[in-house]
Chains A and B, each alone.
Chain A
């Protein structure tokens, strides 16, 4: 299988004095929108929020929609447990985000861009607004017709789901919409909208700065480039690391584990749990296990029952309650594992619960309910004894 050894990269947080974000904008908008889209497609960049949709195609679809008004939205509603990279990007290199949004605006024909930051990061709003004001002034001086605005959330994980985020921005309950129509056709205010993750937007401006070749040279066929990882849990060096995509999980464990790593939860609460015996044949990337960047490390002192219990409590609270499979499903899974643990239900009840997650996967309306099956089945299958006894 195509794979790359673990390698630390410095694209996202690196700073090029000779080509600052605003200069990247200046240089890029001399190209035609079509050429910029070709560069994005050529680079192989896929969304860094977790879902991994090709960024160039998203921009292309939105450009092709006919509408006087379109929007660019930066999804900074980072809420997946174990993820904290977007906060660091917003704090350290926000100008790169603004540059990515402006370029996107130029490509698709939007004059307004919004950054939706989760309410938990309210402490940074003031500084961020000041930096936005400076950037907007620079755009104005360059006669670029684009303006960046800031919006904040109010503590709802589900608003990271793109259509729920639009609902929230429109002053409504953050309940995901039915799809289609997709945001490229009808997003914020029902207008064609590009919504990209913070990190994705930074990569778009970096690809414009250094060209698609340099980006494409990193990673594997299915997972081009690098990615910012949030490393937490049982590790002596928790923090944020940009790594080349396509590495075997074994390399990651050797670098970040504490020598006693039992399992890694890749992709946060909604991701997959990989046990020790599968470290060697698991690739981190779209061909293996994709991730929005959350890597939680558990050593052998941890009870995987407690881990699963925490995740299920999280989903039970954060389910928006709109659709029955997710609302009731999350509650029943939580009650179910508690009952098995207490011996009120036989161990085989876990198989019934697994069937419930399979139903949720096909019947829940959005990614929240659909993805509960990931942690549930991967933890139950690999650590069944810990759940029962």
Chain B
């Protein structure tokens, strides 16, 4: 078995071999791999006895279940109204020029993917960004770059 097949097998052992386990299994794969490759979705389908199209159908519905390759760290900057009013544009601009990417793209060294997100639930402390699962409220452009630099150092 390939590493991804082993991972999926373990996740299915943990969450159960039925349709209700599909979300936790896909979330488990994304937590390790950052996205769902074709290979991963086919393996999940086989393990849970579903059609691959069904697995893709579910995965493609959810913003956090990416089916496109992503960088090792995923940055999501909130773009909804409260963060908009508190200066999310400046944050995105600073990150774009620092990583030399546009929203939706992955940096050439594959360390970061920059995305925008709908309301992250920190409207009183905007602008806010998530890096992977970690949350960073009340960021300034300078602080955002500093945080990203720290992640870059930790990422091999």
Chain A complexes with chain B? yes
Binding site for B on A (CB under 8 A): 78-84, 86-87, 118-123, 151-157, 168-175, 189, 230-234, 238-240, 269, 294, 296, 302, 306-307, 310-311, 314, 317-318, 320
- Cβ-neighbour of B27 out of A78, A154, A169, A173 (below 8 A): A154
| Minimum C-beta distance from A190 to chain B (A) | 12
**B124 near A154: Cβ-Cβ < 8 Å:** no
Q: Are B23 and A82 in contact (CB under 8 A)?
A: no
Residue of B nearest to A239 (CB): B124
Do the beta carbons of B85 and A233 come within 8 Å of each other?
yes
Q: Does B38 contact A (CB under 8 A)?
A: no
CA distance A83 to B121 in the complex (A): 6
| Chain A residues whose CB sits within 8 angstroms of the CB of B27 once the complex forms | 119, 152, 154
Instruction: For the complex, give the distance between the alpha carbons of A238 and B19 in Å.
Output: 42
The answer to whether B64 touches A230, judged by C-beta atoms less than 8 angstroms apart, is no
Asked if B7 CB lies within 8 Å of chain A CBs, one says: no
Decide if A155 touches B62 in the complex (CB within 8 Å): yes
With most chain A CB atoms within 10 A of its CB, the pick from B82, B84, B133 is B82
In this complex, the member of A79, A87, A172, A311 whose beta carbon has the largest number of chain B beta carbons within 10 angstroms is A172
- Inter-chain contact B82/A81, CB cutoff 8 Å: yes
Task: Check if A172 sits within 8 Å of B124, measured CB to CB.
Answer: no
Number of A-B contacts (CB under 8 A): 120
Q: Which residues of B contact A155 (CB under 8 A)?
A: 62-65, 117
Q: How many residues of B contact A (CB 8 A)?
A: 35
- The B102-156 residues at the A interface (CB cut-off 8 A) are 117-126, 130, 133-135
Give bound CA distance, A169 to B57, whole Å. 15
- Give the distance in Å from the alpha carbon of A82 to the alpha carbon of B82 in the complex: 7
> Does the CB pair B133–A122 fall under 8 Å?
yes
With A152-B24, A233-B82, A269-B81 already in contact, 10 other A-B pairs whose C-beta atoms are closer than 8 Å: A82-B81, A118-B121, A120-B117, A123-B134, A123-B135, A155-B64, A156-B62, A156-B63, A171-B20, A230-B123
Contacts of B57 in A (CB 8 A): 173
A residues in contact with B134, CB < 8 Å: 123
Distance between Cα atoms of A230 and B135 in the complex (Å)? 18
Which of chain A's residues have a CB closer than 8 A to the CB of B22? 171-172
Give the docked Cα–Cα distance between A310 and B62 (Å): 21
Q: Please give the distance in Å from A156's CB to the nearest CB on chain B.
A: 5
Minimum distance in angstroms from B90 CB to a CB of chain A: 16
Q: List 10 A-B contacts (CB under 8 A).
A: A81-B123, A87-B121, A154-B26, A155-B64, A156-B62, A171-B21, A171-B22, A232-B126, A294-B123, A296-B123
Whether A314 touches B80, Cβ cut-off 8 Å, given contacts A154-B65, A172-B58, is yes
Query: Which of A154, A314, A317 has the largest number of chain B CB atoms within 10 A?
Result: A154
From known contacts A151-B24, A171-B58, infer whether A81 and B85 are also in contact, taking CB-CB under 8 Å.
no
User: Which of B20, B63, B84 touches A310 (beta carbons < 8 Å)?
Assistant: B84
CA separation between A118 and B76, bound complex, in Å?
A: 15
Q: Mark B49-68, 1 if CB is under 8 A from A, else 0.
A: 00000000110011111000
Bound state CA distance, A342 and B99, in angstroms? 33
When the two chains form the complex, which single residue of A123, A171, A318 contacts B23, counting CB atoms closer than 8 Å? Answer: A171
Cβ–Cβ < 8 Å partners of A232 in chain B: 82, 123-124, 126
For A169, list chain B residues within 8 Å (CB): 20, 23
Q: A168-B23, A296-B81 are in contact. Are A84 and B123 (CB under 8 A)?
A: yes
The residues of A that contact B130 with a CB separation of less than 8 Å are 120
The answer to whether A156 touches B81, judged by C-beta atoms less than 8 angstroms apart, is no
Given A154-B23, A172-B58 in contact, is the A81-B64 Cβ separation under 8 Å? Answer: no
